Amino acid sequence: YGTLILHADGSYTYQLNNNNTDVNALKDNQSLQDVFSYTITDGDGDKSTATITITINGHTDGAPNVVITDHNGS
């Protein structure tokens, strides 16, 4: 439903695709989830896996709002 960009400093950006038909069809009290799992590796080769869940809440008379939940992995 959108694009997640992970930055080298650990931050991320999510860009909602308002042209997606499922996103565009959302009404009040409806939602969709966009789930991303990723693995990062540091300079020593240590790895960490995490999941980010984006909840897209519908709004009949306007653009949907986006709620981001970051689930840190170990």
pLDDT of 8 higher than 70: yes
Interval 13-35: pLDDT, tens: 999 998 999 998 898 899 999 99
Query: Does the pLDDT of residue 62 top 70, yes or no?
Result: no
Q: Kindly list the domain boundaries of the chain, sorted by start residue.
A: 2-71
Q: Which residues of 4-23 are buried (b: 16+ CB within 10 A; e: fewer)?
A: eeeeeeeeeebebeeeeeeb
For residue 74, is pLDDT > 60?
Answer: no
- Distance in angstroms (rounded) separating the CA atoms of residues 1 and 18: 8
The pLDDT value recorded for residue 60 is: 78
